[in-house]
Amino acid sequence: MRKDNNLRAWVLVLGILLILTLTGVGVVAALRAGANRVLQPVSDLSSGVGTQVAQVLNPTPTVLPNPQTVVYQIRTLARLETIQYSVEKVITAETGQGVLGPLFGDRLLFVAHGYVVAGIDMRKLLPGDLRAEEGILYVELPPAEIFMATLDNDKSYVYDRETGILTQGDVNLETLARQAAEDEIRGAALEDGILEQAQANAEAYLYRLLRSLGFLDVIFLAPEAE
CA dihedral 194, 199, 205, 208 (to 10 degrees): -150
The C-alpha atoms of residue 187 and residue 191 are separated, in whole angstroms, by 6
pLDDT of residue 167: 76
Cα gap 118→80, rounded to integer Å: 8
Query: For residues 205 and 197, what is the distance between their CA atoms, to the nearest angstrom?
Result: 12
User: Which residues 6+ apart lie within 8 Å of 136 measured at CB?
Assistant: 215, 216, 217, 218, 219
Task: Report d(CA 16, CA 22) in Å as an integer.
Answer: 10
Q: How far apart are CA 226 and CA 219, in angstroms?
A: 21
**Residue 113: partners with Cβ closer than 8 Å, 6 or more residues away:** 86, 87, 88, 151, 152, 155, 156
Alpha helices in the chain (DSSP H): 2-57, 101-104, 173-191, 194-211
Q: Is the CB of residue 100 less than 8 Å from the CB of residue 166?
A: no
Instruction: Give dist(CA 190, CA 146) in Å, integer.
Output: 9
Band the pLDDT of 193: cuts 50, 70, 90.
very high
Report residue 81's pLDDT band, with 50, 70 and 90 as the boundaries: very high
Are 174 and 95 a contacting pair, CB within 8 Å? no
- Return the number of other C-beta atoms located less than 10 Å from residue 79's C-beta: 15
The whole-number pLDDT of residue 40 equals 57
Q: Quickly count: other Cβ atoms within 10 Å of residue 147's Cβ.
A: 18
Q: What are phi and psi of 16, to 5 degrees?
A: -65, -45
Which candidate, 79, 119, 114, places its Cα nearest to that of 188? 114
- Residue 20: band (very low, low, confident or very high) from pLDDT cuts 50, 70, 90: very low
pLDDT in tens, 138-190: 999 999 999 999 999 999 999 998 888 887 888 889 899 999 999 999 999 99
What is the model's pLDDT at position 33? 57
Q: Residue 112 forms beta bridges with which residues?
A: 89
